């Protein structure tokens, strides 16, 4: 394990009075989706008892290094966490709330696939403590679901959504846009249906062709052609207009919610506060250090057996690295950042190049007052804006 001891102390980059977030990674899936570059693995069988013990040991290690904190959120991600046994979910929740005090509004999210077999677990997962479900619906069209390699059909997806809404009060679901053949008319109909289904949170992601995925190979072979950037921008602008009109504006580049229904867990990432990450491939940010677990499940299990945790790396973040990360995360949010306050919290003189900010304000890409925010036009150019204004 790579380790740099005694990370530089920032000026409370993550303070004890800010709730802690816990991310739990479950790495297993039934199939590997062709667009997915997440740390997910297909295995013939999983020893749930052994995995429960390993996750609890990994959690204990993080808790020992973060004493006295209040826990504000737990997020089970993957992979496909709805493949976990509810007993394992309950054990992790019970252990986490035993290690730390909790906030009054502790948010516990679990990502779930809408297959019928997994939907049958939703009530048991709610009994285990999950109070927010995030469903990977991705589309309402069977042909699109087949293209995306999903293991459910449209009818199953809608039935799973109904089951989730019966099990917990807070439900979100993912939809992928910018699929081959998408037009403004096609996407508007799909988004209108998504907005009609009664949830208060939507994650709307444009299809991206990630290196190393099956889709990258298919595109390289000419088996399908992604839509062009101009159409992607048009669909993005349509998304902003329709969600705004429906009372579910974007609070982050790809995430939309009614006021008060935002993902509190993800806000902890984007506002650049501490989070503990456990499970294969999980990243964390702990007291000025970045942490990373072994990605391959077998290597993670061997490390836990050997060391009592699954860490492969923990390294001190320099103030410059932290400043850049905080800027990248914070500008994704509609609320933007307070550059002076963020710089003071991290312990740097400045987090942005003010001359560059002033230029982009004049171009209508940023607004600058007490907070620095992207304009609607700026959201389409986030990466280039970050490259220009980073101090």
Residue 207 and residue 344 in one domain:
no
Is residue 268's pLDDT more than 80?
Answer: yes
Is residue 32's pLDDT more than 90?
Answer: no
Does 290 fall in a domain? no
Residue 356 and residue 215 in one domain:
no
Is residue 15's pLDDT more than 70?
Answer: no
Residue 124 and residue 226 in one domain:
yes
Residue 9 and residue 124 in one domain:
yes
Residue 253 and residue 361 in one domain:
no
Among the candidates 215, 245, 270, a domain finishes at 270
**Average pLDDT of the residues of the chain:** 92
CATH number of the domain that residue 7 is part of: 3.20.20.70
Does 367 fall in a domain? yes
Does 99 fall in a domain? yes
**Strand 20-26 with 275-278, pairing:** parallel
- The residue range of the domain holding 178 is 2-270
Burial class (CB in 10 A: 0-12, 13-18, 19+), 317: buried
Is residue 11's pLDDT more than 70?
Answer: no
Residue 229 and residue 348 in one domain:
no
CA distance 148 to 338: 39
pLDDT score for 18: 92
Is residue 9's pLDDT more than 80?
Answer: no
pLDDT score for 3: 37
Among the candidates 270, 300, 328, a domain finishes at 270
Render pLDDT for 176-188 as a digit per residue (tens, 0 to 9).
999 988 999 999 9
The residues with which 102 forms a beta bridge, in sequence order, are 71
**What is the mean predicted confidence (pLDDT) over 48-63?**
98
Is residue 279's pLDDT more than 80?
Answer: yes
- Number of structural domains (the chain) is 2
CA distance 213 to 226: 14
Residue 131 and residue 37 in one domain:
yes
Does 324 fall in a domain? no
Residue 93 and residue 219 in one domain:
yes
Among the candidates 252, 270, 288, a domain finishes at 270
Does 285 fall in a domain? no
Residue 214 and residue 346 in one domain:
no
pLDDT score for 369: 84
Say what percent of the chain tops pLDDT 90.
Answer: 81
Examine residue 35 and say whether the peptide bond preceding it is cis (omega within 30 degrees of 0): no
Confidence of residue 105 (pLDDT cuts 50, 70, 90): very high
> How many Cα atoms occupy the beta-carbon half-sphere of 190 within 13 Å?
25
Residue 28 and residue 117 in one domain:
yes
pLDDT score for 224: 82
Q: What is the pTM of this model?
A: 0.92
Does 314 fall in a domain? no
Residue 266 and residue 343 in one domain:
no
Does 215 fall in a domain? yes
**What is the mean predicted confidence (pLDDT) over 35-41?**
79
Does 255 fall in a domain? yes
Residue 341 and residue 242 in one domain:
no
Is residue 12's pLDDT more than 70?
Answer: no
């Amino acid at each position: 394990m790579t380790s740099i001891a005694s990370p530089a102390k920032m000026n409370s980059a993550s303070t004890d009075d800010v709730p802690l977030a816990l991310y739990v990674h479950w790495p297993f899936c039934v199939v590997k989706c062709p667009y997915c570059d997440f740390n997910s693995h297909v295995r013939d069988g999983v020893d749930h008892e052994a995995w429960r013990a390993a996750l609890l040991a990994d959690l204990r290690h993080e808790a020992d290094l973060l004493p006295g904190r209040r826990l504000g959120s737990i997020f089970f991600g993957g992979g496909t966490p709805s493949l976990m046994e509810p007993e394992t979910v309950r054990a992790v929740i019970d252990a986490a709330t035993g290690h730390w005090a909790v906030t009054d509004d502790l948010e516990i999210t679990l990502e779930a696939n809408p297959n019928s077999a997994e939907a049958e677990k939703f009530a048991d997962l709610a009994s285990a403590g999950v109070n927010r479900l995030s469903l990977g619906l991705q589309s309402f069209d069977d042909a699109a679901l087949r293209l995306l390699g999903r293991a459910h059909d449209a009818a199953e997806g809608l039935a799973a959504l109904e089951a989730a809404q019966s099990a917990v009060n807070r439900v979100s679901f993912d939809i992928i846009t910018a699929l081959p053949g998408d037009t403004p008319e096609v996407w508007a109909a799909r988004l209108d249906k998504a907005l009609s289904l009664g949830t208060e949170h939507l994650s709307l992601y444009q299809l991206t062709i990630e290196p190393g995925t099956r889709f990258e190979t298919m595109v390289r072979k000419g088996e399908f052609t992604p839509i062009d950037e101009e159409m992607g921008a048009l669909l993005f602008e349509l998304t902003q207009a329709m969600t705004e009109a429906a009372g579910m504006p974007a609070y982050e580049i790809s995430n939309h919610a009614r006021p008060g229904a935002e993902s509190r867990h993800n806000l902890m990432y984007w506002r650049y506060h501490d989070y503990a990450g456990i499970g294969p491939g999980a990243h964390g940010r702990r007291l000025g250090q970045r942490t990373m677990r072994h990605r391959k499940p077998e290597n993670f299990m061997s490390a836990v057996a050997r060391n009592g945790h699954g860490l492969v790396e923990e390294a001190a973040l320099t103030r410059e690295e932290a400043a850049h990360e905080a800027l990248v995360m914070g500008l994704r949010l509609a609320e933007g950042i307070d550059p002076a306050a963020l710089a003071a919290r991290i312990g740097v003189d400045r987090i942005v190049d003010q001359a560059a900010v002033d230029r982009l304000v004049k171009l209508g890409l940023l607004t600058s007052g007490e907070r620095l925010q992207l304009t609607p036009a700026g959201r389409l150019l986030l990466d280039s804006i970050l490259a220009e204004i980073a101090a």
